[in-house]
Amino acid sequence: MTTLYLIRHSVRMPLNKIKYKTNQDKLILNEKIILSSDGESRAKLLSEKEELKNIDVVYASNCVRTLQTAKYLLEKQNLSVTIDDRLDERRVGLANDKYYPDWFERQYKDENFKTVGGESQKDVRNRMDEAITEILKEHKDKRIAIFSHGYAITFYLLKYCKLISIIDKKLKYQFNNKIVFDKPINAPEVFKLTFEENKIKDIELIEFEDIPYNHGV
DSSP notation for 8-71:
E--PBPPGGG----S---HHHHHHT--B-HHHHHHHHHHHT-GGG-S--EEEE-SSHHHHHHHH
Taking only the tens place, the pLDDT of each residue in 117-142 is: 889 999 999 999 999 999 999 999 99
Please give the Cα distance from 70 to 54 (Å, whole number).
14
pLDDT of 46 reads 96
pLDDT of 26 reads 62
**Cα dihedral 8→182→168→161 (10° resolution):** 70
pLDDT of 101 reads 82
The pLDDT of 12-31, averaged and rounded, is: 64
Taking only the tens place, the pLDDT of each residue in 149-185 is: 999 999 999 999 999 999 988 999 999 999 999 999 9
Q: Reply yes or no on whether the pLDDT at 9 is more than 60.
A: yes
- Partners of 205 in beta bridges: 191
**Cα dihedral 65→127→106→160 (10° resolution):** -100
Taking only the tens place, the pLDDT of each residue in 42-82 is: 999 999 999 999 999 999 999 999 999 999 999 999 999 99
pLDDT of 28 reads 60
Termini Cα distance of the chain: 33
Confidence of residue 22 (pLDDT cuts 50, 70, 90): low
Ramachandran bin of 125, using left for φ above 0, alpha for ψ from -120 to 50, beta for the remaining angles: alpha
Please give the Cα distance from 107 to 113 (Å, whole number).
6
**Domains contained in the chain, CATH given:** 2-206 (3.40.50.1240)
Q: Which residue has the higher pLDDT, 21 or 156?
A: 156
Cβ within 8 Å of residue 72, ≥6 positions away: 43, 44, 46, 47
By the 8 A CB rule, do 87 and 146 touch?
Answer: yes
Confidence of residue 34 (pLDDT cuts 50, 70, 90): confident
Average per-residue pLDDT in the chain?
91
